[in-house]
Amino acid sequence: MREEKLFPSWPVWDEEDVEAVSSVVRSGNWWCGAPLEQVGENVWEFQKEFARFQEAKHCVAVANGTVAIETVLLALGVGMGDEVIVSDYTFVASASAVVAVNAVPVFCDIDPETLVLDVDKFESLITARTRAVIAVHLGGNPVEMDRLCEKASKNGLKVVEDCAHAQGSRYRGKHAGNWGDAGTFSFQASKVLTAGEGGAIVCNDDLLAERIYSVSDCGRKPGKYFYSHFEYGTNYRLPELSAALLRSQLKKLPAQHALRNENARYLADRLNSIDGITVMKPTDGAEEIGYYIYPFIFDPSKFENITKEGFKRKLNENGIPTDDCYPPLHRLTCFRESLLREKIDYTQANWGGNKSDDALFPVVSDIYERSIQLPHYVLLADRGKLDYIAQTIEHIRY
């Protein structure tokens, strides 16, 4: 309970949010309709507003961040037997979306400092079957997208950016989501922009954007008769009520994003000066970071060989909230024991049985054991609280 007094809780909401949702209820327009026959306005307006925020040409709102990835893969024609390279350090959705389209995820180890996909290792995983790569901007820290896109295009691979953590992230002058073929976002409850559930896809290619829309809305095409269906598509639409809440939350995001970036730099200076603590290093070229999580790595030998659980417990006892880290994908039961889709051949994957040994994913396996994540709302606290975090961590050593 001390936790709630010390740090802001999440989500942050006010009467404007209540009014946004209530006004949809009162209007009776609880559904968005179709591009030519719009019923509600919130989904359509949210798509424009989020595209503007991310400086993207197109945005298609969808039900959640998982189906956002699935939709893009379907629209790109990635499917049966194709290999898709995914960072090993991410939420399961980055890989389960690949499984959902009958493709085979291949896991790539991470860079020990930036904690995102190691672009050189990515290159070594490319085979004749590889069709795409999913670049996950963990904690909003961008993958080196210029190098990744160059290597991908040389090998004829599609690039999907999983931007679930990267609202507002900007790398070498361009927002996350605009480097690859498309970028996917999640608005699930813990994310920095949320309506409890929700997702979006950004894309700068007119034809691909149309296909993405089509997959997410029953195979329809904008401007065509409502009951004509041109290809396989399903219903992944974002609810109108959720869009209304996202629109009012989006108004608050730029100020929160700026504060998080400012506070992240301040806290990094404090924490990096503690012997045995290293904060996730912003990728060279990262100009803004979404900071969904704020990870730091500790050296157990400098903290009397404390375990990760012990470290977290000490922080929590002192009122500092922590997030759980994602176990590396290669360790998850569904992959280690290949408990996925029947009739799909996973034998070419680089995981399952002995191939899931930690020794084959050395960086992420080590990082996972000694990293701690602070949730993003900690970065909305005042400087005094950030000093308190640094002081508490300094004392854990004694």
Ligand X SMILES: *Cc1c(COP(=O)(O)O)cnc(C)c1O
The SS3 of residue 218 is coil
Binding map of ligand X across residues 99-138, x = CB under 6 A, - = no contact: -------------------------------------x--
Cα 291 from chain centroid (whole Å): 10
Contact flag: residue 261 with ligand X (CB under 6 A) = no
- Report the residue from 42, 94, 214, 242 that binds ligand X according to the rule CB under 6 A: 94
- Report the residue from 42, 47, 54, 66 that binds ligand X according to the rule CB under 6 A: 66
User: By CB under 6 A, what part of segment 353-382 binds ligand X?
Assistant: none
Contact flag: residue 90 with ligand X (CB under 6 A) = yes
| CB of 164 or CB of 209, closer to ligand X | 164
Q: Interface with ligand X by CB under 6 A: which range of 89-97, 230-238, 294-302, 388-396?
A: 89-97
- Report the residue from 199, 239, 321, 328 that binds ligand X according to the rule CB under 6 A: 199
Q: Who contacts 262 (Cβ-Cβ below 8 Å, separation ≥6)?
A: none
Q: How far is the CB of 367 from ligand X (least distance, A)?
A: 16
Q: Who contacts 69 (Cβ-Cβ below 8 Å, separation ≥6)?
A: 93, 94, 97, 98, 134, 160, 162, 184
Amino acid at 340: L
Cα 315 from chain centroid (whole Å): 25
Q: With the C-alpha atoms ordered 212, 217, 219, 224, is the resulting torsion angle positive or negative? A: negative
Binding map of ligand X across residues 143-182, x = CB under 6 A, - = no contact: -------------------x-xx-----------------
Rounded Cα distance between 142 and 73, Å, is 21
Q: Who contacts 35 (Cβ-Cβ below 8 Å, separation ≥6)?
A: 44, 213, 222, 223
Contact flag: residue 64 with ligand X (CB under 6 A) = yes
What residue is closest to ligand X based on CB?
65
Rounded Cα distance between 248 and 14, Å, is 9
Q: How far is the CB of 182 from ligand X (least distance, A)?
A: 14
The residues binding ligand X (CB under 6 A) are 64-66, 90-91, 93-94, 136, 162, 164-165, 186, 188, 199
